[in-house]
Amino acid sequence: MASGEGLVCADPTVMAWEEGERERWLARAALLEHGREEDGWTREANNADRLSDLSPMQVPWLFAKGPEAAARAMLAGPMLLRQRQRLDIGRVAVARFEVDALKLALGLAGESADRLGSLLLPFRGPEPAALVAGWLRHLGSARLWARLWLQRHATVAAQALMPVALGKPGRARQNAEDALHHLRATGHEATLLKVAAGKTAKPRKMPDWARPERLPGVRRIGGGMLGEDEVGRLIEGLTRSRLEDAPEPAPGDPAPGGRAVESSAAAQPEVRAPDPEILAGCDRHSLAEFGRALLDQWLTDDMPASEAWVLLAQAHLGDDSTMDKLAPLIRSWPARSRWARAIDGLAVLATAGTDVALRHLLAMEERMSGGPTNDRALVYLTQAAARRGLSVTQLADRLAATHDLGRGVTLDYGPRSFTVVLDDHLTPHVVGADGRRLAKPPKPGVKDFKPESFQDFVRLKKELRLTVSAQTARLERDMLAHRVRPAAGVRAPHPILGPLARRLLWAEPGRRLRIAEDGSFADVHDATARVDDDAVLRIVHPAELEPAELADWRQIFADYEILQPFPQLNRPFVALTEEQRAATSLPGFGPVATGAVVGLLNRGWLGNGFHNGTRLHTQLAHALPGDLTLLIEVDPGVSTSSLNSVDEQRITEIWIDDAGSDHWQVARTTPMGAGDAAALSELLTGLDATLRLL
């Protein structure tokens, strides 16, 4: 039989509209926002060489009703990632220019398959087939777009993907195999048999480093070693390691205006368990060593994607030492553009599910600054916590390091010993046999035959300082994110979290509480408050308190000399008045230094001048919870790519808008009170600190 090398699909891509579909897509032009059309736009469009030469407002105008020649000439160029309304812009462009818009549609769908993959539905040809084949294992809406495309263009899909499925092993072959398997399962087996007649797949060629003789042996539980043939079968079984199938049904709605779900926000799959027979009778420790040897070989070979099964196999081969080895690698991969491997690594940690693995996963999620990988890590943590009957916050509390302080730590010098104790501020001290408390243990003497215990204390003190710092930062993030805990968890006897919790103000619906010295709760009148163990508590932000109540709590904490682990009651904050909460904007101010406004762009604010490096940022935006955005209008504007010739700026307005808007409208419709009080306070006080306004 011939191999698949001679099988090709050379048919050109054509349009295959469903009845009324093109008209529905063209109708989206009426919904495209482009602000007020200006007289010079046609001239600027005719003179532009690429879409980035136009403003964000001009791009939707160009494809909806701009000059046809100019729009057609720019179809092959990329659209800016921050361009809003990309789905409707793409639909209008595809409906208006059809096959000429193929490159634009492929580019948009490749950048964001979940949100923009539906743009490929009317195209029939090998280019879209190759792209959608890789979406069947997506967790979000791209999986639905792929299924719809394959069902609609089954014959072309089979012709285009069969040679890939019969070709060289790797990611492309796996994607093609997934697509053909889907076609077979959905009633297109006759088409596949006709296309594949007389063709056979290339056999998998195992890399040299995965041969049994290049790897350590595997011990049996009862003694002895696996034979070379048995190790070969073990490796062959491990090559089938992959993620579990995504949950059904595939989310999304292809209709114009329909819903799209990002893969990072969907339920995340764990690593599928291997055939039990291939691991049966093998010593677990020996399997873990074998797995780490495979991992080392794969890393040395620069992590070939075709052999990514090595990474996934660690979920069922590895032990805690494997997870310790993997964690720093997974953290480093996004910076090296190894996004797919980082996602696989998160799946491995979540599937392993041990305390060590989940501590690494928690640490990664806490250090991330947002984005799809952060979202996936949080979903994995949510799933792992749910298996233990916990929330992510509770899981983090349960897994917080104790350094064995709960059971007691003793420094044994030999003839004498000291017990380590913590004060209220979590500073370690030692207590000798005579009961005296010392700031640190004495240095070992000539009669002490275990002098290493002194260094154990030095190491404990350093590790404890890092743990306290990390847990303090986590509790502060919990305050800002309104994360909740059951009361039983808040007053749990954790040697580190317990003292931190006692120095904070907590809230349950309708009242604020502190934890008294005896572990009970006390209210603002310093009376004991009854709180059920399953009552939901969270850390209070001062912007949520009335001025009189805040003053009372400040006095109570001062009277008891409670030093808070981070600024809470004495935190700088901004609380809007009722009039300001009802208003749809706040008045501007100034002048402020241009350099200070530029500094905001390095603190999480995004400017609207991204489309052209020579243009000014006249509007700065920052995300708020609840799909809202806080905006400040800047006059005359600042640049981050050229020298600013103006020393001073004015902030002309502060307002809130829907996060999905382009923020071009003149009318303000969202009241300032719609913004989360804590988040809004943090941003406004940040403006004060940066611009020195108040």
Tens-digit pLDDT profile for residues 373-385: 888 999 999 999 9
- pLDDT band per the 50, 70, 90 thresholds, residue 267: confident
Task: With a cut of 60, say whether residue 96 has pLDDT above it.
Answer: yes
Tokens encoding 383:
């799933």
Domain residue ranges of the chain, discontinuous segments joined by +: 2-200, 208-399, 409-469, 482-559, 578-691
Q: Which residues contact 459 (CB under 8 A, 6 or more apart)?
A: none
C-alpha neighbours within 13 Å on the C-beta side of residue 323: 23
Fill in the DSSP letter of residue 566: S
Which ranges in 153-281 belong to alpha helices (H)? Answer: 154-165, 171-185, 189-195, 228-238, 276-279
SS3 content of the chain, % helix, strand, coil (to 5): 50, 15, 40
As a whole number of angstroms, the distance between CA 612 and CA 614 comes to 5
Residue in the block written with tokens 């967790």: 139
Q: Taking a C-beta distance cutoff of 8 angstroms, is the pair 333, 305 a contact?
A: no
Residue 602 has what pLDDT?
85
Arithmetic mean of pLDDT, 101-122: 94
Residue 66's Cβ-count burial label (10 Å; 0-12, 13-18, 19+) is buried
As a whole number of angstroms, the distance between CA 53 and CA 330 comes to 38
Higher pLDDT, 223 or 643: 223
DSSP string, 568-620: STT-------HHHHHSSEEEEEEEEEHHHHHHHTTTT-EES-TT-TTS-EEEE
Query: Considering the chain, what percentage of its residues have pLDDT values greater than 90?
Result: 72
What would the pLDDT profile of 577-620 be if each residue is shown by its tens digit?
A: 999 999 999 998 889 999 999 999 888 899 988 654 457 899 99
- pLDDT band per the 50, 70, 90 thresholds, residue 250: confident
As a whole number of angstroms, the distance between CA 543 and CA 680 comes to 9
Tokens encoding 692:
């020195």
Element containing residue 315 per DSSP (H, E): helix 309-317
Task: Tell which residue, 365, 153, 138, 427, has the closest CA to residue 265.
Answer: 138
Task: Tell which residue, 177, 238, 161, has the closest CA to residue 206.
Answer: 238
What would the pLDDT profile of 37-69 be if each residue is shown by its tens digit?
A: 778 899 999 999 888 788 878 888 999 989 999
What would the pLDDT profile of 499-518 be if each residue is shown by its tens digit?
A: 999 999 999 999 999 999 89
Q: What angle do CA 422, 424, 427 make, to 5 degrees?
A: 45
Tokens encoding 181:
């398997």
Give the dihedral sign, CA 252/255/259/262: positive
| DSSP tally for the chain: helices H, then strands E | 28, 19
Task: With a cut of 70, say whether residue 198 has pLDDT above it.
Answer: no
What does the H/E/C string look like for 188-212?
A: CHHHHHHHCCCEECCCCCCCHHHCH
Neighbours of 76 (CB within 10 A): 14
As a whole number of angstroms, the distance between CA 468 and CA 427 comes to 10
As a whole number of angstroms, the distance between CA 303 and CA 660 comes to 38
